[in-house]
Structure 1
């Protein structure tokens, strides 16, 4: 096995969603953790990209590029990466090259950036902190400027304001709350990076809507294996749910190659197991995204988390399909507090789940709890915690985790969604 193959087997790939002004998914920043990055506080070399060869191989051999579907991959690049000929194997229409240079670029680097821009690559200036020689040399070449809102602090309005008149987009990174996003939006930012949309904002005394209560009734009917006529009768009382369910199963990761047009057809083609999954996802679809569930980032994240947990459960216990089913639902349920604005304990009082799932969701204990913790640590880019959890489970590895991520992304972005 050559060095590149070894690196690909041991690489960890994280991703952070990037949303637009409509709070819809436009891409992911891909974070590559290679075997030689071992420090808890990454060096500049570790913080920057893996080599161009590793990134290109991840796109091709690991299938990351295809798995992302129509969404852009934002990739961190240093001076060596930019000058590497292997970079040109990346499809210009699918990537954004984040220029994270450690010093003021020289004439060779600037010429290379200009050539890449002319070939159709989108360039982004990373970690902008003000107009200096470094930024001044690159601003005419980039289409996006990224500003770290935490590092900028009180200087954020001044930093953003100086750029709003230029023909480029402003991207706010490390956005941690919805309030921060709204503030950045008011300052003229166009895109927002982070998991702020997945953090629960619990509203005291909040009541579930009639449609949400209707979905919960259906979830409980499916869970106790009610007959199809009883399911249909329940759907008839909530015709809006039928429409939204059909939208959802036709848009998020189904990929049957033909449209599903009726409830009876959905139950027949999907089976009760899948129907239960899509009802759980439907419960999370916020009203403002009801017409486009495939672009709802919280729904995307929930579907991906469920799928990742299901795949990893299959690696742990290949013959235990029940564990896989429970893992999928556990992944979805873990994000319901963010979707519904209610504590998980209150949600669990209304939706019947197994004791194992209850413990996983409330205490992250048991096998399901371990898988949930692993996926949450991956989302947070906590590589050391990921490695520690993997070390306790010999059936899992960095390679299986990266393969699961690729499969999961391909699944949720199937058929161009």
Structure 2
């Protein structure tokens, strides 16, 4: 089957797309091998495999309220299989290297009328390639990473009066995002949110310091009375904890009686889940109520933690035990430098962790360190790096297992199982 073959031969990479508020708006999905696809026929087959993988892995459910941007070649555009994709879950990104002929224009108009969102990639100005499609496309993509400032302004200005969203591709810094925002871009594709200026000795905010104190208390297995007292000094955290436990209940089952005692809530929530929740809040930008579904940084951290937890057993269907818990925390903590702007050694000087976690984070050593290195390559679309690390890991881990693991972790993150 084309999907199974493709998932064995290629990695399903994702590149986040964020809004002006830096909230997650979607993902660019890519099937990529270590060897680039240069032949036009192979590119069309790759597009077909990408669309099939989207359907077979249940990516619409896995992505929740965000959509997937899928690159569509002119040949695949004409295939009926394209209409198996859900109009509400995808953005069809037109990969055209020449002016569209009549057949392409008719097909785009038909898809547009059926409710599909169309995007035009690699916009280079209003010309014979873009002009016929402007009435039908909803999104225009411009490579901001390789376009000089003056040209970028001219390209954005040429579309200013049209009801089209501008998406800046290749945004890898806050400065470039701000520049594009000022030019009228509303969507941004890149990894700027997962990067930070690392400054040794930087002071943590009061709320960050409070979260670290709580994480250490929970992790040291102290008496619940000490944890309860620490929470009482953080009323916002206490309120959020009570809300979560009351709404979800114990292990996902709604409670017959509401939780009113803080100690009762801590016991019901469980120390393992409490430590994970507090660690995610430490990554949250600004507010203790930040939702991982809206924060790209939290998405990366939570996904990395869940994927590490799943991969540690070499089985994407699930993993249990002490090492799986350590794997999840390793994934979360690996994003702390980006969130806090501190070197990892300074963070670990303030958060008590197991030796396996410390060596994984600082040296990429041991099984946890190898899987962390694998997922760092995976997050950076490094196919050759992924291949090299997969060959060093024990068990039956391969490209297909990693792709399936991504789908399972995304579904878990969006509350749809996994």
Question: TM-score, structure 2 length as denominator?
Answer: 0.90
Question: Is the counterpart of residue 206 in structure 1 residue 207 in structure 2?
Answer: no
Give the conservation status (yes or no) of the 8 Å contact 1:248–1:282.
Answer: no
Structure 1 gap ranges (5+): none
Partners of 1:267 and 1:339 in 2: how far apart? 26
Higher mean alpha-carbon deviation, 20-29 vs 318-327, is at 318-327
Paired residue for 1:90? 85
1:409 aligned partner: 410
Equivalent residues in 2 for 1:71-150, closer than 5 Å: 71-150=66-145
Does residue 310 of structure 1 match 2:314? no
| Contact kept in structure 1, 2:308 and 2:328, CA below 8 Å | yes
Query: In 2, are the aligned partners of 1:18 and 1:29 still within 8 Å (CA)?
Result: yes
Whole-Å Cα distance in 2 between the matches of residues 46 and 255 of structure 1? 50
Give the deviation of 1:50 after TM superposition: 5.0
Corresponding residue for residue 360 of structure 2 = 360
Q: What does residue 344 of structure 1 align with? A: 344
Query: Considering only aligned residues, what root-mean-square deviation do their CA atoms show, in Å?
Result: 2.7
**Which stretch of structure 1 is more off in the superposition, 386-395 or 215-224?**
386-395
Q: TM-score, normalised by structure 1?
A: 0.90
Residue 103 of structure 1 deviates from its aligned partner by: 1.7
Partner Cα distance (1:78, 1:15) in 2? 19
In the alignment, what sits opposite 1:7?
6
Q: Would you say 1:177 and 2:178 are equivalent positions?
A: no
Output aligned runs, 1:149-168, within 5 Å: 149-154=144-149, 155-168=151-164
Contact 2:281 2:288 in 1 (8 A): no
For residues 33-44 of structure 1, the aligned pairs below 5 Å read 33=32, 37=33, 39=35, 41-43=36-38
Q: Which residue is 1:223 aligned to? A: 219
Does the CA-based 8 Å contact 1:126-1:146 persist in structure 2? yes
Instruction: Tell whether the 8 Å contact from 1:251 to 1:294 is kept in structure 2 after alignment.
Output: no
8 Å contact kept, 2:64–2:411: yes
Provide, for residues 176-233 of structure 1, a one-character-per-residue CA deviation record: whole Å limited to 9, x for no partner: 0111111111111001111110112234643112221111111111111112222111
The equivalences for 1:17-96 within 5 A come to: 17-33=16-32, 37=33, 39=35, 41-43=36-38, 45=40, 51=46, 53-96=48-91
Q: Which residue in 2 is equivalent to 1:193?
A: 189
From the superposition, tell whether residues 250 and 344 of structure 1 become closer, same or farther in structure 2 (CA, over 3 Å).
farther
Between the two proteins, the alignment pairs up a number of residues equal to 410
Q: Are the structure 2 counterparts of residues 68 and 164 from structure 1 closer, same or farther at C-alpha, using a change threshold of 3 Å? A: same
**1:387 equivalent in alignment to 2:394:** no
Deviates most, 345-354 or 311-320: 311-320
User: Which moves more between the two structures, 194-203 or 312-321?
Assistant: 312-321
CA pair 17-246 structure 1, distance change in 2 beyond 3 A:
farther
C-alpha change, 1:389 and 1:250, in structure 2 (3 Å) is farther
Cα separation, 1, equivalents of 2:55 and 2:15: 20
Deviation at 1:303, TM superposition (A): 0.6
Quote the Cα distance in structure 1 between the aligned partners of 2:278 and 2:104: 52
